[in-house]
Structure 1
Amino acid sequence: MTGEAGGSRGRWAHPGKYARIERERRFLLAAPPAPADVTTTWAIGDRYLTGTRLRLRRVERPDGSCEFKLTQKVPVVRPGAIQGLITNTYLSAAEYDLLATLPARVLSKTRFGVPPVGVDVFDGPLRGLVLAEAEFTDWLAEYGIHPATSQRNHASKSSAEGGPWRADRRGPDAKRLSPEQHRRIHHILG
C-alpha cells in the first residue's frame, strides 16, 4: 500500500492476509425507523485517531455487554463498488482504555438493526443525521442487488418501479427477494 497514513492513492492495494474488501452503501434517511421495525439496538462510540486511518470503537449491546475494536479503513481509488480495505482487531477493555487516551475526533450514534440494513442515528454535533447502511458482502451480494445510483440512467426507471434497488447479473445461485423483503426495504429506505 502507498500514500499518506497507510492509504492507497490511484492504485489497487492487495487485501493481504488480514484485510478484507469492503463494499457498502449509505442512504440518507429523513427520520429514524419506526420502533416496530427495529430488531436490536446498539450504542456506538467511535474515536477516529488523529493523523491515522484508525478507528477505535466501543459497542454497547442491549444486554449491557461491550465489544471493543480497532479498525483500519484504507480507501482505494478504483472504479466500481469497492470502497476500500478494512481490518478489524478485537480488543480487551484495558487495551481500549489505553488507546482511548490518544487524540481523536469522537462520534457517537445509536445503531438500529432493521434487517436487511443498519440505521445509524447520530448524537452530538451530527444530531439529526440518520443514515441507513447496507454491506454488499452481506445479503445484497446473495441476491445480486445493487443500488440504482451505481448504474447510469437507471434512477428514474427505478423510482417509477417503486424504489432505489435493482437486481441484475443474476447467476444460477442468486436468490430472489420475497415480497416481504421488498416491502421492508421500501418501507425503510422510502
Structure 2
Amino acid sequence: MADIDQATAAALGWPKAKYAWVEHERRWLCRVAPLERTISAQMFEDLYIAGTQLRLREALPTDGGPPMRRLGRKADVSASIRLLTSIYLSPGEFSLLSSLPGKRLRKMRHSLGRVNGADLFIDVFEGELSGLIMAEAEFDDIESMNAYPMPDFACLEVTEDIRYTGGRLVTDGLPTDHSTFLTSGQG
C-alpha cells in the first residue's frame, strides 16, 4: 500500500494494511465489444449487500471451470484507486450469504489478457444495465495507469465518473445521459 498512507487506510476502515491490497484501474465506455480479442470469459453475478461496502461475487467461467465465490469489501481512495479485501467462500457459505438483502448486477467479463502492461477486460452488462459495455484496465502502479492510452475500441473514459462504478450502477441504474452518448458522435 505504498501509495496510500496508513491514516487514510485507517479512516476507510482498514486499520491493518497487510489485509488489503490496492487496486489501480481505469474505465472506458464502448459502443461495441471486441469479442474477437477475448482469451477467456466469466459470467459475474454480484450482490451488493444493502447498507455496506460489501460485494458477494460468483464468477462462472464459460469454459466450464470451477466457479469462484468470494465476499469482497472496497473503499475508494480516489476514482481510480481503491482498497480491497476478499474472502473466498465455500458453496455453503456463499449460499447462506446470498440471502442477504441487496441489489444484484450481472455481466459477462471478457479478458483480453495483458495489453501494454495492463490487464484488460470488457464487461458486457445484462438485465437493467443491458446495453452498457465498459472496458476496464487494471495496473500494477500509478505510473503505468497514468501513462496508459485509451484502448482503440473505447469511446469515452469514465474513470472519474462515479456513476459508472458497480455500486452506483446497481443502485442508480444507467446515467440518464448514457443513451445520448451512445447515439452521439462523442468519443
Distance 1:108 1:147, change over 3 A: farther
Q: Structure 1: which 5+ runs fail to align?
A: 1-10, 149-163, 166-184
- Compute the displacement of 1:147 (Å): 5.3
Separation in 2, partners of 1:82, 1:67: 25
- Compute the displacement of 1:52 (Å): 0.2
- TM-score relative to the length of structure 2: 0.66
Task: Quote the residue 1:109 is aligned against.
Answer: 107
Task: Quote the residue 2:138 is aligned against.
Answer: 135
Distance 1:69 1:107, change over 3 A: same
**Are 2:9 and 1:13 equivalent residues in the alignment?**
yes
Task: Quote the residue 2:52 is aligned against.
Answer: 52
Distance 1:27 1:52, change over 3 A: same
Give the letter aligned to residue 87 of structure 2.
Answer: T
- Compute the displacement of 1:144 (Å): 3.3
Q: Structure 2: which 5+ runs fail to align?
A: 1-6, 156-187
Q: How does 1:117-128 map to 2 (within 5 A)?
A: 117-128=120-131
- Compute the displacement of 1:108 (Å): 0.2
Aligned partners of 2:41 and 2:108 also within 8 Å: yes
What is the DSSP-based 3-state SS (H/G/I as helix, E as strand, rest coil) of the residue aligned with 2:86? strand
**Are 2:57 and 1:92 equivalent residues in the alignment?**
no
Q: How does 1:105-184 map to 2 (within 5 A)?
A: 105-115=103-113, 116=115, 117-137=120-140, 141=141, 144=144, 146=146, 164-165=149-150
Q: Kindly name which structure, 1 or 2, has the bigger radius of gyration based on alpha carbons.
A: 1
Q: Which runs of 4+ in 1 moved over 3 A?
A: 141-145
Separation in 2, partners of 1:68, 1:97: 10
Separation in 2, partners of 1:145, 1:13: 21
Aligned partners of 2:49 and 2:55 also within 8 Å: yes
Give the letter aligned to residue 75 of structure 1.
Answer: D
What is the DSSP-based 3-state SS (H/G/I as helix, E as strand, rest coil) of the residue aligned with 1:13? helix
Give the letter aligned to residue 17 of structure 1.
Answer: K
Separation in 2, partners of 1:24, 1:12: 19
Aligned partners of 2:31 and 2:154 also within 8 Å: no
What is the DSSP-based 3-state SS (H/G/I as helix, E as strand, rest coil) of the residue aligned with 2:146? strand
Task: Quote the residue 2:160 is aligned against.
Answer: none
What is the DSSP-based 3-state SS (H/G/I as helix, E as strand, rest coil) of the residue aligned with 1:119? strand
Separation in 2, partners of 1:145, 1:68: 28
Task: Quote the residue 1:70 is aligned against.
Answer: 71
